[in-house]
Amino acid sequence: MGKNTGIERYAHLMADWASSVIVAPGTNKFRDAEDVPLQARKQFDDVFLRFSAIYTCIENLDLCMKFIQARRPRRKDIRLDQYLSYHIAAYIQEMYILSERLEQYATLMMRRKKRSTSDAEVKKRFDALIARMRKALNNIVHARGSHVHDRPFDDQSLEPLSTYALLGQFNQKFSDLAAREYRISKRVWVARLTANKVELDKLVDLYFDFMHAELVPSWAEMLPNNSFKPK
């Protein structure tokens, strides 16, 4: 993520606005929670903390990728197939959470904007955004649904690795085969997730470019009793 991407531009907006809420005017000191009016706290939870949760999801996806890219574990009590499948499952889980949070945030901000404008097309535009997100993320989200509800994460490409890793506990020859198979499986998944990251970054930037364009012009009306003026 770079400074000129959609999500980073929106993140700077969020950081500036959040500081105007939680920092006492004319100081560098944080305000106590009880000093922030109830309405302002609700706005902060909805607008900033929910965005922060989305940002954390995206960082967690990058973290999963780093674990998969890292050197294989040396500990003998961690089987190679278990290590790889654990982090792939974690990645799929984070993708599902990201999909849910993106939709929830868009729905919440749409409702806030609808209450503050006479624009009859607001819901149509936000619904189109949500539909595009659902379609783009559907395949990965579906994989997570099977993983959670029906059976543990499984992928046929990992079956040779699982077999060799299990047998390798009793025979060094299979342990060597497991190490080779791990390198192959790792290469496949790194390539798959790298390609996915390119598409996900585009999708997330599109989402936050849309949010920025929709929300900034009506910021004061959407968040009553708020003196912050977006730059």
pLDDT in tens, 115-134: 888 888 999 999 999 999 98
pLDDT, position 54: 97
- Which pLDDT value is given to residue 4? 77
Predicted pLDDT at 23: 75
3-state secondary structure string, the chain?
CCCCCHHHHHHHHHHHHHHHHHECCCCCCECCHHHCCHHHHHHHHHHHHHHHHHHHHHHHHHHHHHHHHCCCCCCCCCCHHHHHHHHHHHHHHHHHHHHHHHHHHHHHHHHHHHHCCCCCCHHHHHHHHHHHHHHHHHHHHHHHHHHHHCCCCCCHHHHHHHHHHHHCCCCHHHHHHHHHHHHHHHHHHHHHHHHHHHHHHHHHHHHHHHHHHHHHHHHHHHCCCCCCCCC
- Average pLDDT over the chain reads 83
* Residue of 83 and 208 predicted with greater confidence: 208
pLDDT for position 141: 57
Mind listing the pLDDT tens digit for each residue in 25-70? 666 676 666 666 777 788 889 999 999 999 999 999 999 999 999 9
pLDDT at position 230, please?
84
User: What's residue 211's pLDDT?
Assistant: 95
What is the band of 24 on the pLDDT scale with cuts at 50, 70, 90?
Answer: low
